[in-house]
Every structure is written in C-alpha cells, then in structure tokens.
Amino acid sequence: MLSTNQIGELFFEGVANTTVLRRLRILEASQLLRRVVGLDTKECLWIVTASGAQMVSMKIVKTKWSKHMIEHDHKLIGLRLLLERVGVARAWMPEHEIRSHMFKKYGLREIKNKIIPDGFIGIEVNGKMESVAIELELTLKNKKRYRNIINHYQGKENLYAVWYIVPTSSMIKSIKATWNKYASSYSGVKVYFSGLDELIKNPLEANLIGLNSVIKLSELFAPLEALSAQLPAQVVSTLVENNLAEKRQSTSEIHSPI
C-alpha cells in the first residue's frame, strides 16, 4: 500500500504529481490498482488488485486495511522505505506476511493470541547479520500487554533486539520504564527506542535509546554504504542479493514469533 507521493518518488522521479495521478487512474480504470482512503491528509493510497498481481506474477498476502490502522500502516511503510533507502534494513518482513506464514503453519485459532511485531528486519551489527523486531507505537498499550510482549520477546534466542519507534519522548519514558521493571537479566534480547520524527528527519543520526545507554543508529546498525565503500560494486551487489534472500528466509522461518 503506497501513497501517491511514495509512488512518485519510487517510480516517477522528476515527473509532476498530476501526471503520476493520471497514470495511476488509468491503472485504476483497468482494475489493476485500487485506491484506499482514510489518511488525515486526504492523500490517496494505492494497492495492487488480484488482476494487477496476476499480470506481474505477484502474490498478494493482504488486500484489506482496517480504517483505524491506515495512518499507522502508512507511517510504517514510510519507515520501511526510509530504512531500506539508507541501507540499514537489508530485508523487511511485514506483519501481514508473518501472520500469513503463521496461519499456514498453525491455523487461525492458534495464532489469535500470539504476539506479532509490525515487522522483522535484517540488519548488520559488528559484521554479522541479525534480526530486529520493529514495533511502531503511535499510542500506549496497557502495562499488562507490554509485560506479555516483554516475556514473549525475551524467550527468542535468535532475536537480536526489539526496536520501538514512537512519536513522543514521554512514550519512550513510559515503555522503557516497563521494560526496566520486567526485563530479565538472563535474556540476550536487547531493546531500543527511537523518536519517529527524529528518525524520519535524519535516520543515521537518530538516537537508539537502550535501557542503560544511548547510541547513534549508524554506530550500531551498519548502513550499506559503509560496506560498499570497502568493496567493488559487483561484489557488494552479490552480497546484498544473497543477504536479502538468506535473511528473508531466516526471518520467516527462524526469527518470526512462531
């Protein structure tokens, strides 16, 4: 699900927004795209229809979005595009793909009460590929819910960290206090917090606030540019493609909350 502006930036660089909209409406009239409304800004969102997916041999996992989740999901997609563009996220598995994978494995009844993050990303830390669970929180949950989330994540041996991205410093303070209260010293899973606006403005310089420390994002999560500066472009391309393929598989099969 992409907004008109996001589609323009991704596929029609330098093309007027009116032209982008005209092309999207042609695809909509051909029933290859469908628009979704509900953003506070009134901007249109677009998704691929079954006919459009069939034309490009694409598998659709999600076709409907809840109205009360439109803003959240739109911001989440923006974060994904941003983190992939700066080279921090090497692979991203969104919540609906994780849920689909779990449904096929366990069935609907078994996954109703499971905790599923907004996404899993593959990142590089100290030269090693790791998995991080993404939680975009626009509103606070109750403390009991956070306690269940903490207990769930801390039992994941292959998970490097949980990364909360929130709109206010007061939310960081509140969620961090709950983690400090219930986090186990025996778990190797880390937790980080970042402000949404700060991350959007300058992602590599955004703070990763841990339970006992603060570090710049680029100091911990190695961006792709740091790798490409040391290796020939062809080697980098091969490494990235391999990492994406391997991480996408491991994300769904090993690091997902199954």
For the stretch 192-228, pLDDT in tens is: 999 999 999 999 999 999 999 999 999 999 887 644 4
For the stretch 110-168, pLDDT in tens is: 666 678 899 999 998 988 889 999 999 999 989 899 999 999 898 888 899 999 999 99
Cα–Cα distance for residue pair 141/154, rounded to 1 Å: 18
- At which residue do the structure tokens 């459009």 appear? 52
Residues facing residue 134 across a β-bridge? 119, 163
Cα–Cα distance for residue pair 131/159, rounded to 1 Å: 5
Q: Tell which residue, 209, 13, 224, has the closest CA to residue 122.
A: 224
Instruction: Decide if pLDDT at 242 tops 50.
Output: no
Instruction: Decide if pLDDT at 234 tops 80.
Output: no
Q: In Å, how far are 13, 80, 92, 210, 229 from 251, measured between CA atoms?
A: 32, 15, 8, 23, 27
Instruction: Decide if pLDDT at 27 tops 80.
Output: yes
Contact 137, 172 (CB under 8 A): no
**pTM: predicted TM-score of the whole model, two decimal places:** 0.83
Instruction: Decide if pLDDT at 246 tops 70.
Output: no
Residues facing residue 194 across a β-bridge? 165
Contact 221, 84 (CB under 8 A): no
